[in-house]
Structure 1
Amino acid sequence: VGDDDAGRFLHSIASGESLDLAGIHISPDEPTGRALIVVDHLGENSIIVVPGSNAACPPATNIGPSDVVLAQLEIPISAVTNSFIAAREAGAMTILNPAPAAELSAELLSLCDIVIPNEHEIELLGGVSRLQEAGVKTVIVTKGAAGIDIYHEGVREQLPSFRVTPVDTTGAGDAFCGALAASLAAGHELNDACLRALAGGALATTTHGAVPSLPSQDEIESLIAASS
């Protein structure tokens, strides 16, 4: 984050959630990255991103064997690659959300245990087969209200989304990826983790905003219980 009001605001939110902030880096020269979001009457969004200090994000360090390392592409790809190299050396799991959409090197793909593209991103990446041939163990294609397709060990499985009334889809993908990573780190099996991720993504569409819409673990479990 930058050394500015936006950075301090994000720091205070994370502190309020009792998150370990030891890995946060403060850039003295760049402002905190921002996103300008326009939401239409159906809850769909268009986003303009100003990267700011995201461009100065260094690779992750101090990775343990039981960790799950989750990354996306709003930071330098070199930082993602080096973080995943460190994760592989530590025996940790790696998850990549390839957004914003970009072409990815064979090296980076070979370092990914799980890749989570949407329908547009999987086309740009050359399809599921290309990712699997590059060494990706699991591909999860997100399809919004249509749910997800899971490609794992030669099998494709479809899981439906949870039925909610969306007001703003901003942050739904982030909630999905975060809930998936947290669930896998907690020891949940892949399909159960995907179910929890779907619940997290669905809940994020029911509240306006990005950070305010991110659901808690209790909210995720409540939605799953109510839908079973």
Structure 2
Amino acid sequence: MTDKQARVAVIGSLNMDVVVQALRPPQMGETVLGEAVHFIPGGKGANQAVAAARLGAHTEMIGSVGSDPFGQDLLESLKKSGVETTAVKTVSIAPTGVASILLSGGDNRIIVVPGANGHCLPEDVDAGKERIAGVDVVLLQLEIPLETVLSAARTAKELGKKVVLNPAPARELPGELYRLTDVITPNRSELELLSGHSIGEEDLAEAMQVLLDQGVGCVVTTLGEQGAAILSGEGFRRVAVHPVDVVDTTGAGDAFNAGLACALSEEMELAEAVDFAGRVAALAVTRLGAQDGMPTRREVEALYGTERKDDK
């Protein structure tokens, strides 16, 4: 732990999550009765920004919403959590992004309609350059146009900032983006797509090496209940999970990435940063909703009193 305040810029998506709870998912062509429906502020970018702010980071958000009630709700949610929203633009040519989320059996299925997120453009990164200059880490995902993600990574490196890329939703990436990325954080399925490897336990390090060979600084693969794996120039290691009672996994990856970005901004060593991120994610999945489920710094630090074991 350090006394340095994290300073993070999140460039990415803002969605309204329409969350439906059901005992089981329907088969194709089938209708089932749901138990509840919730309208919850979300989007990978916004989720990560809220998580970072709740962890005590000075957090800048760059993105795009529609000029509709959902857009206003998303901005208010960010502000309530302490996120700086000056660089979030409102557009009239597209509705606010929406994610349809089905929760069943402790897991989720998600369909995202990007809407206004498709209008987060490279010029918005340029407009927010002063904001980016004031942070240590730039956190990116793939729910906005890829050209904007590339522009953000280029700008971050020009300004001497660390780039953390959460490659979700999974898609093929240009070589330049790998070379601009300090830390890439795929889950298992994203790693399979990016590496071209079908991953068994013995293939994990080999698949991660494919990404490292593309020029990223290091690879951190999230493995759900199996924890996380790290591959860097210093070698391969595993970090164990923190066992919890799972309620909603929707924001787990976003919580992890925000925790990692904050920890790196605070200059924690990589393994410690991944452990911290895992604690953030563990707490997040014990609550319903992505943004509402994000823990505070005090709650995460309380987990340091629990016993755990790393597999090196």
Which position in structure 2 is the counterpart of 1:97? Answer: 166
Q: TM-score, normalised by structure 1?
A: 0.95
Aligned identity (percent) is 39
Any idea what the Cα deviations from partners look like across 1:118-154, whole Å, max 9, x if unmatched?
1111111113222111210110010001000001114
2:276 counterpart SS class:
helix
Pick aligned residue for 1:13 from 63, 66, 77:
77
- Specify the alignment match of 1:213 in structure 2: 293
RMSD between aligned residues: 1.4
In 2, the alpha carbon distance for the partners of 1:92 and 1:46 equals: 34
2:255 matches 1:192: no
Q: Which runs of 5+ in 2 are unaligned?
A: 1-64, 196-206
Q: CA deviation at 1:224?
A: 2.4
Distance 1:163 1:82, change over 3 A: same
Could you tell me which residue of structure 1 aligns to residue 243 of structure 2? 163
How big is the shift at 1:187? Answer: 2.4
Amino acid at match of 2:110: I
Secondary structure at 1:34 match in 2: strand
Q: Does 1:51 align with 2:131?
A: no
Deviates more, 1:167-176 or 1:5-14: 5-14
- Of residues 105, 110, 113, the one that matches 2:182 is 113
SS of the residue 1:223 aligns to: helix
User: How many residues are matched?
Assistant: 227
Q: CA offset at residue 190 of structure 1? A: 1.5
Q: Structure with the greater relative contact order (CA < 8 A, sep ≥ 6): 1 or 2?
A: 2
| Aligned residue type for 1:185 | S
* Structure 1 position 40 matched with structure 2 position 104: yes
Which secondary structure state, in structure 2, belongs to the residue aligned with residue 30 of structure 1?
coil
> Hey, which bits of structure 1, 4+ residues long, moved more than 6 A?
none
- Whichever residue aligns with residue 286 of structure 2, its letter is T
The answer to whether residue 222 in structure 2 is matched with residue 222 in structure 1 is no
- Is residue 25 of structure 1 aligned with residue 105 of structure 2? no
SS of residue in 2 equivalent to 1:25? strand
> In structure 1, the residue corresponding to 2:74 is in which secondary structure?
helix
Q: Distance in 2 between matches of 1:227 and 1:215?
A: 19
Deviates more, 1:182-191 or 1:141-150: 182-191
Corresponding residue of 1:77: 146
Distance in 2 of aligned mates of 1:65 and 1:10 = 24
101-110 or 52-61: bigger deviation = 52-61
Q: Which of the two has higher C-alpha Rg?
A: 2
Q: Does 1:172 align with 2:235?
A: no
Structure 2 contact 183–217 (Cα < 8 Å) conserved? yes
Quote the residue 2:155 is aligned against.
Answer: 86
Matching of residues 120-159 of structure 1 within 5 Å: 120-126=189-195, 127-159=207-239
Q: Contact between 1:65 and 1:90, CA under 8 Å: does it hold in 2?
A: no
Distance 1:152 1:65, change over 3 A: farther
1:160–1:11 Cα change, 3 Å:
same
Q: Give the SS at the match of 1:36.
A: strand
**Displacement of 1:194:** 1.0
